[in-house]
Amino acid sequence: MPQSQPRKVTVNLDAGLHKDATEMLEPLGHDSMSALISTALEEYIVAHSMRLHSQWREANGLNTSEALATEESLITEVVHS
């Protein structure tokens, strides 16, 4: 399976949309906006990492129930240690 290249995502907001978004977020204050953005990025990174891990397992033939059970067991062991 060919390696996929990282994708660069650029978001362009028109002036009106940017103004509306800024006006909605400004009352939250800088710390709240930072926390909101940080949480959104963290959720995206976790979801993307899970997708990549799933693709890696599939590419390496590790999506069998036995392999998944072993992985779950190892995760449980680490979490409870």
User: pLDDT for 22-60, tens place per residue?
Assistant: 676 677 777 777 788 888 888 888 888 888 888 888 888
Cα separation, 38 vs 58, whole angstroms: 30
| C-alpha dist (Å) from residue 66 to 63, 70, 80 | 8, 6, 21
The total number of structural domains that make up the chain? 1
Which domain does 47 fall in, by range?
15-80
Q: Does residue 72 sit within a domain?
A: yes
Q: Does residue 5 sit within a domain?
A: no
Q: Does residue 57 sit within a domain?
A: yes
Q: Does residue 45 sit within a domain?
A: yes
Cα separation, 70 vs 35, whole angstroms: 36
Q: Does residue 8 sit within a domain?
A: no
Q: Does residue 73 sit within a domain?
A: yes
Cα separation, 81 vs 76, whole angstroms: 9
Q: Does residue 38 sit within a domain?
A: yes
Q: Does residue 9 sit within a domain?
A: no
54 against 9, higher pLDDT: 54
Alpha helices in 1-81 (DSSP H): 15-25, 29-59, 65-80
Q: Is the pTM of this model over 0.85?
A: no
19: confidence class by pLDDT, cuts 50, 70, 90: low
71: confidence class by pLDDT, cuts 50, 70, 90: confident
